[in-house]
Amino acid sequence: MATPDDASLIAAVLYDSFLEYESLYTRDAFAATVLTGDQIRGRIGQGRVWVALWNDAIVGTVSAVPKDDELYIRSMAVAPSARGRRVGELLLRQIESSALAEGYMRLTLVTTPFLTRAIRLYDRFGFQRVDGDLDNLFGTPLIAMEKRLTPRGCEGGI
């Protein structure tokens, strides 16, 4: 779990992770994606924020906020230097484990269509795209995805 002291390092991971896509976002959407340390400290007070460590350095992050029967995933990022090390998968497993332990029925998230590596990860992890009207993020298109969870002990049949 992240602490307020991690906020500036988390902000750096977000920035480094999304910088290569900056030209595909609108200016306001990019600013809303790469949060500041102060914004991250605020998020730590709103829900859970996890970090992934590699050699004692923060190389990944994700946050989640409860919404009714779902846990909404946001601000997931893996530093470019840590890609290919399954950091994103480990973060998603941590969220799913926490969600199941707390009785949530779904994981949900929103991403952009140009984050193809992230979408492939979400697809592999069992997320499916959700149809319907979806707002954009300050002019940047969005895709909604969800994963329905099976409570522990209910995986099999009778």
Per domain, the residue ranges of the chain are 4-148
Residue linked to tokens 């996890």: 50
Instruction: Note the pLDDT tens digit of each residue in 16-63.
Output: 999 999 999 999 999 999 999 999 999 998 889 999 999 999 999 999
How much is the pTM? 0.90
Question: Residues near 92 by Cβ (< 8 Å), separated by ≥ 6?
Answer: 62, 73, 76, 121, 122, 125
* 42 neighbors 2 (Cβ within 8 angstroms): no
Instruction: Note the pLDDT tens digit of each residue in 97-133.
Output: 999 999 999 999 999 999 999 999 999 999 999 987 6
Nearest to 74 by CA among 65, 86, 83: 65
Residue 107 belongs to what H/E stretch?
strand 106-111
Nearest to 146 by CA among 67, 70, 76, 44: 70
pLDDT of residue 158: 43
* 80 neighbors 16 (Cβ within 8 angstroms): yes
Give the architecture-level CATH label for domain 4-148: 3-Layer(aba) Sandwich (3.40)
CB atoms within 10 A of CB 32: 14
